Amino acid sequence: MSSLGANDASWYSNDCAYSGQDFLTVLNWGRPGLNNGVYSVLDHNSVYQSYTLVVGYTEQYIQAWYNNVLSCPMMTLMVGTSNSYECYNGTYNPSCSVYTAGVDWDNAIHSVMNWVASHHYDTRITIWGGDDLEGEWDQWTGGSGCPAEPTTLDFLNGVANQEATYSPHALLGDYGDASTGIGNNQCNFSPGVWTENDVYQASWGIGWDVPIPELYQNASYQGYQFNAWSQVFKDYQGQKYEFYGVMTECSEVDPLPSGQCYNQRNETCEWSPTIAMTNVNAKQEFGTWPYQDVTNIRWQDDSPSGNNGC
């Protein structure tokens, strides 16, 4: 984590265009679960990392970033998890409460916030929670024919209710998709299947959540995610619904191209952050955002394979 923090600091410093420019960074740790009685995340190498370890590794990243960054950049750091198979590792763990996993995740976020403040880094670094919330993963709610747990709503309620006890508050960035009406991990029918209102509740309505929609685009999607998120925005503008940024998925290393980029995992050409923001800003109904952040997922096992003809 120290090496990653130092590398990011170097890149941000070189790319910073004006003093105080904010860079949105996501550390996506994995899915929540219970390991030996301790709430943890199952990381992308299928290894459990306790929430306490996640806090410590995140602080290592921050320390290295702060020690190596020049005076120009600022950073918003999201400490992220996902709603994919919560409380599951081969079988569902009845001792694992998705609600409690959410409560403890929020506590972990505030542990990082407190550490940042105690080192006086908070003038340059803002800490958010994060969740890769996807409709084709865990069900929204339980019901007949679906397991009682896990449900995505339980985790988010745990986060929101615990967050209400804190001041200052940490936002929870939803950097997932807007998939609705399709089968998911637990059940292929109502009431587990997500609706558009569930996407709204997950990304805004429950409280403290803000949408940073993933806008991965390739031939198979045919603009689906962009159009789906656009529809959520259109239908909930009356609730002061606002995007706080966008997420792309390029496998290439920084600096990313301004045109199409290569996604190694799917072997597709997709939108770069530049194209994503250009298309979003071209839709007049989106209006002016409070933030213009754009960030990119690069999986840890992606090789720097270059543009690959995209």
Backbone angles phi, psi at 48, to 5 degrees: -75, 135
Tens digits of residue pLDDT in 169-197: 999 999 999 988 876 666 555 556 889 99
Structure tokens that stand for 15 in this block: 């790319």
User: What is the rounded average pLDDT of the residues 197-225?
Assistant: 83
Q: Tell me the residue type at 155.
A: F
Hey, what are 34's tokens?
A: 């219970």
High-pLDDT (> 90) share of the chain, %: 53
Q: Answer whether residue 10 shows pLDDT above 90.
A: yes
Residue 185's pLDDT is what?
61
Say what percent of the chain tops pLDDT 70. 88
> Is pLDDT of 290 > 60?
no
How far, in whole angstroms, is CA 131 from its chain's centroid?
Answer: 4
- d(CA 211, CA 173) in angstroms, rounded, equals 6
Q: Give the pLDDT of residue 303.
A: 75
Q: What is the pLDDT of residues 224-282, one digit of tens each?
A: 788 889 889 989 988 888 888 888 888 887 778 888 888 888 888 888 888 888 888 77
pTM, whole model, 2 decimals?
0.92
Domain ranges of the chain: 2-211
Check pLDDT > 50 for residue 219: no
Per-residue pLDDT tens over the stretch 19-67: 999 999 999 999 999 999 999 999 988 999 999 999 999 999 999 999 9
- C-alpha 157/C-alpha 39 separation (Å) is 17
